[in-house]
Amino acid sequence: MRRALALGILLMSAIATTPEARAQEPVLLHAAGSLRAALTEVAQAFTAQSKLAVNPVFGASGLLKERIAKGEAAQVFASADFGNPRALAQAGLTGPVVLFARNELCAFARPEIALTRETLLERMLDPAIKLGTSTPRADPSGDYAFQVFARAEVQRPGAKAALEAKALQLTGGPASVPAPDGVNTYGHKLASGEADIFLAYCTNAAPIAKEQPGIKLVRLPAALAVGADYGLTVMNGASPNAWRFAMFILSQDGQAILARHGFAAPALPREAG
């Protein structure tokens, strides 16, 4: 919360020193693909309240970070991890990085795959099972999946190497084949048969259930569970509108929207009782 206060102080300072010509500038948002639905709704709510436009770009956080580092115009970066925004901050390109949402990995499986929390590791190791992940380094979802593999090593020696070797890095990379527009990527990869089990964010549950109702969700057992902390930062020199939007994401209204989309929203007030 102290970091959110720091953002507020920087916002007030930016507003006080900003030329009138920048007052109606649209906000340039770069955000993780897993945030597409949630931050689209957040942006709509922000625009309705402030009359300021938000122009979003969604994609794999690692790839977005590289584009920003190479000079692509950006103002607000909402990443599915802390490492990518911190890299920009350490390069002197952004302000502080603030926690604004949490997620976790789940296993999604084709209807014919018998799968429970208890049998997940065994099924992932089965040579006949096509195991899908996103692409490490390019997409934090892939890094989190490989953290699951590292945890599996404790349960079964040799599992880490076996899982890393067989993992099909189907999404999030620069050469990954995208799903059709408007279709959930992970549900599409499962429905098409490219993967039998896919390790992906649990927030995909609702869209996958809507598009592919037969696909099963299995939460990872405690020994394998991996969480995801999402980091928010604002580029140095960004307009006050960008700071206002960042603060809106951290506000109760913004956090409530994230929560409705399945994210843990750390800035929401605790419920009474």
**Joined tokens for residue 171:** 């999404």
Does 2-102+228-260 match 103-219 in CATH topology? yes
Q: What is the mean pLDDT of the chain?
A: 92
> Phi first, then psi: what are they for 77, rounded to 5°?
-120, 115
Alpha-carbon distance of 21 to 162, in angstroms, equals 57
Instruction: Check residue 269 and give its pLDDT.
Output: 78
| Chain Cα centroid distance, residue 112 | 28
Bridge pairing between strands 168-171 and 54-59: unpaired
Q: Are 137 and 217 in contact (CB under 8 A)?
A: no
For the chain, residues with pLDDT lower than 70 are: 1-23, 271-273
Q: Domain limits of the chain?
A: 2-102+228-260, 103-219
Q: 103-219 in CATH: which number? A: 3.40.190.10
pLDDT of residue 2: 52
Phi/psi for 246 (5° steps) reads -60, -45
CATH topology of domain 2-102+228-260: D-Maltodextrin-Binding Protein; domain 2 (3.40.190)
User: Of the candidates 82, 83, 101, 120, which has an alpha carbon nearest to the alpha carbon of residue 39?
Assistant: 101
Predicted pLDDT at 16:
47
Residues in CB range of 178: below 8 A, 6 or more apart: 185
**Cβ atoms of 39 and 245 closer than 8 Å:** no
CA distance 17 to 138: 37
